[in-house]
Each structure stands twice: as structure tokens, then as C-alpha cells.
């Protein structure tokens, strides 16, 4: 299970949510006063030879600015105004293993992440994004870094205890917009005639959905398994059952940005090899 004492993260990266940028400045000449007698009369008598030689400006390291969507614990969380979570810490560790400089985080609603990436407002997506054929047509992905099925969570101690997707028929079901959970509800329930479109409640993030579940406004939520387990630990909800999809998460990059894609893949391999990945996974999800 996920450790709930998440504010004791001893390894939160010093870069934080704002990221870091290098400030670089080169030396300049003394203003071109020509040295010598400095009279600037252009008569050729000034030697002009002792003007300072300009120091070349250092080339800044290329950056990776990352986008995420808080409100999806334990992958991305806003804690006391600070962005943290498994994705956040993992991605910062990955970039630290590359020649790129981490340029900080920018926050969006989940369904706005791909447009932000394509518009070059960010360089990568780190937001528990499932690799799908549909998404792969408009962006590229890193190698997979996590596998997750879908959980169905309900109110703990409530009368409704579903055992399969079919049991959600006729119920009010919550999903986060643009997620695998919404896709499961659409394809396995609505398109199959088992659930009316009006019975699907869409949210910008799952925290709002869980609030509605606790308040009795919806009957169940379909969401990624580790996220469901986290909410079950923290809130008055429980996991009713798990729906296996076999899907995997990847970090999103722009199409044709092969340099950053390769750097992220290399960094991911490095943190797996040096034990950082396992450390973060055990911290956020418990040992496996």
C-alpha cells in the first residue's frame, strides 16, 4: 500500500516545482574606446590594439520543461503548494541523468496536456498517461515506466458493492476526462448499451470525483489501480474490484523530437539500474 506519510520525502529534488535555469553572461569589451590616447579622432595615431578581447558566452544546456496534471495521487499531488508524487520525483531523477537541464513544471488539466506539448509550451508530459494507439498518432512516448489496470471504487460501508463492470449499469459513474477510465466506461458500458451517457459524470480531476462519491452524488468511479488504492487509504472509499486492461504509462514527447525521447529513455534506464526507480516505487506504492 502507499505510504501516507508523504510529506517526509527525504529525496525531494532541490529543483522543486519551479525548476532551475542557468544564468549565463559573457564578458564584454571596454566599450570600444580604442585604448591608446582614446581621442577617437580617426587619424590613425591611436594604436587601438589594447581593446579587451570578448570572452565567448557559454552555451546554455538544452532544457526539458515538463507538464503534469495535479490531483492524481500518488503520481502527481499538490501538497502545501508544492508539486510532488511518483511521476514528479521520477521524472526529475530521469532528467538529472541526461545532458538536459530540467526547466521546471507547468500544470494543466489532463486533457490540455497534449495540446500544450504540441504547441511547444512544454517539452514532455509526466502525468500517468496511458500509451494508446490514438495518442500515439499525435505524440510520441518514452519507453513504458509503469503498468496499471483500472479500479472501481465505491463508498466504504455503502450498500452498493459491484463485482464487475456490468454491475455499474443504471448507476452514476465518475471518470476523469481524457483518461483510460473514461475510455473503459465509454467502450465497455455506454457503447455496449449498458450505461446511459447521462449516467457518466466527467471531472477535471479525481479529487473532485471522490468528493462527489463521498457526498453521495455518484455511485462509483473508474480510475487507475494505484490511484484507486491511494484514495482507499486516504478517504472514505474502497476498491470494489479491478478491471484488467494491461495498459502501460509513458512520458509524452513531441513527434520527431527524437533527441529528448532518447534522452528520457536513457535516463529511465539509468534510474532503473542505479536503484532510484525501485526506491521511488517502494516509497509511493509500497514494496512489490
* Residue 237 domain-assigned (yes or no): yes
Whether 45 is covered by a domain: the verdict is no
The number of distinct structural domains making up the chain is 2
Judgement on whether residues 207 and 182 belong to the same structural domain of the protein? yes
Q: For residues 77 and 212, state if they share a domain.
A: no
Residues 103 and 229 in one domain: no
Contact 105, 83 (CB under 8 A): yes
pLDDT for residue 255 is more than 60: yes
Residue 18 lies in a domain: no
Beta strand extents in 94-133 (DSSP E only):
101-107, 124-125
Q: Is the pTM of this model over 0.85?
A: no
Same domain for 252 and 143: yes
Q: Do 231 and 190 sit in the same domain of this protein?
A: yes
Q: What is residue 51's predicted lDDT score, i.e. its pLDDT?
A: 45
19 in a domain, yes or no? no
Residues above pLDDT 90, as percent of the chain:
66
Q: Is residue 203 assigned to a domain?
A: yes
Same domain, 171 and 211: yes
User: Which run of H or of E encompasses 66?
Assistant: strand 63-68
* Choice between 235 and 23, residue whose per-residue pLDDT is larger: 235
128 and 160 both lie in a single domain: no
In this structure, are 106 and 122 located in the same domain? yes
What does the pLDDT read at residue 137? 96
Please check whether residue 157 lies inside any domain of the structure: yes
Check residue 230 and give its pLDDT.
Answer: 86
Shared-domain flag, residues 172 and 129? no
How far apart CA 67 and CA 90 sit, in angstroms, is 14
Q: Tell me the per-residue pLDDT of 63-107, one tens digit each, with 9 for 90 and over.
A: 999 999 998 888 999 988 999 999 999 999 999 999 999 999 999
Helix ranges restricted to H, the chain: 86-96, 113-118, 133-136, 180-184, 206-214, 225-234, 258-273, 276-285
Residue 153: which of 143, 144, 166, 162 has the closest Cα?
162
pLDDT > 70 in the chain, percent: 79
In this structure, the number of other CB atoms found within 10 A of the CB of residue 128 comes to: 25
Cell of 256: 520527431
Residue 281 has what pLDDT? 87
Same domain, 237 and 259: no
Residue 129 domain-assigned?
yes
| Judgement on whether residues 235 and 269 belong to the same structural domain of the protein | no
Note down the domain range covering 203: 150-243
- Average pLDDT estimate for 220-247: 92
Looking at the structure, do residues 168 and 219 belong to the same domain, yes or no?
yes
Q: Is residue 10 part of a domain?
A: no
Predicted confidence band of residue 148 (pLDDT cuts 50, 70, 90): confident
- Confidence class of residue 7 from pLDDT cuts 50, 70 and 90? very low
pLDDT single digits (tens) 171-212: 999 999 888 899 999 999 999 999 999 999 999 888 899 999
The answer, yes or no, to whether residue 287 has pLDDT greater than 60, is no
Domain CATH number, residue 78: 3.40.190.10
Amino acid at each position: 500500500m502507499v505510504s501516507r506519510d508523504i510529506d517526509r520525502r527525504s529525496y525531494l529534488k532541490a529543483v522543486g516545482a519551479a525548476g532551475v535555469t542557468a544564468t549565463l553572461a559573457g564578458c564584454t569589451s571596454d566599450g570600444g574606446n580604442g585604448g591608446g590616447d582614446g581621442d577617437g579622432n580617426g587619424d590613425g595615431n591611436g594604436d587601438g590594439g589594447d581593446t579587451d578581447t570578448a570572452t565567448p558566452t557559454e552555451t546554455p544546456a538544452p532544457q526539458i520543461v515538463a507538464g503534469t496534471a495535479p490531483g492524481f495521487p500518488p503520481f502527481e499531488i499538490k501538497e502545501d503548494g508544492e508539486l510532488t508524487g511518483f511521476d514528479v520525483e521520477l521524472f526529475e531523477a530521469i532528467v538529472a541523468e541526461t545532458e538536459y537541464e530540467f526547466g521546471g513544471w507547468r500544470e494543466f488539466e489532463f486533457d490540455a496536456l497534449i495540446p500544450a506539448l504540441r504547441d511547444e509550451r512544454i517539452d514532455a508530459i509526466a502525468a500517468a498517461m496511458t500509451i494508446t494507439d490514438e495518442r500515439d498518432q499525435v505524440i510520441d512516448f518514452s519507453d513504458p515506466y509503469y503498468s496499471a489496470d483500472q479500479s472501481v471504487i465505491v463508498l466504504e460501508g455503502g450498500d452498493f458493492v459491484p463485482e464487475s463492470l456490468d454491475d455499474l449499469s443504471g448507476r452514476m459513474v465518475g471518470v476523469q476526462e481524457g483518461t483510460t477510465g473514461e475510455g473503459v466506461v465509454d467502450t465497455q458500458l455506454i457503447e455496449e448499451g449498458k450505461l446511459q451517457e447521462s449516467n457518466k459524470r466527467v471531472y477535471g480531476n479525481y479529487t473532485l470525483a471522490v468528493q462527489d462519491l463521498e457526498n453521495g452524488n455518484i455511485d462509483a468511479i473508474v480510475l487507475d489501480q494505484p490511484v484507486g488504492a491511494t484514495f482507499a487509504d486516504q478517504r472514505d472509499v474502497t476498491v470494489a474490484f479491478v478491471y484488467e486492461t494491461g495498459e502501460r504509462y509513458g512520458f509524452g514527447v513531441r513527434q520527431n523530437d527524437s533527441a529528448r525521447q532518447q534522452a528520457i529513455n536513457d535516463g529511465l534506464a539509468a534510474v532503473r539500474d542505479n536503484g532510484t526507480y525501485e526506491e521511488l516505487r517502494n516509497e509511493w506504492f509500497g514494496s512489490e
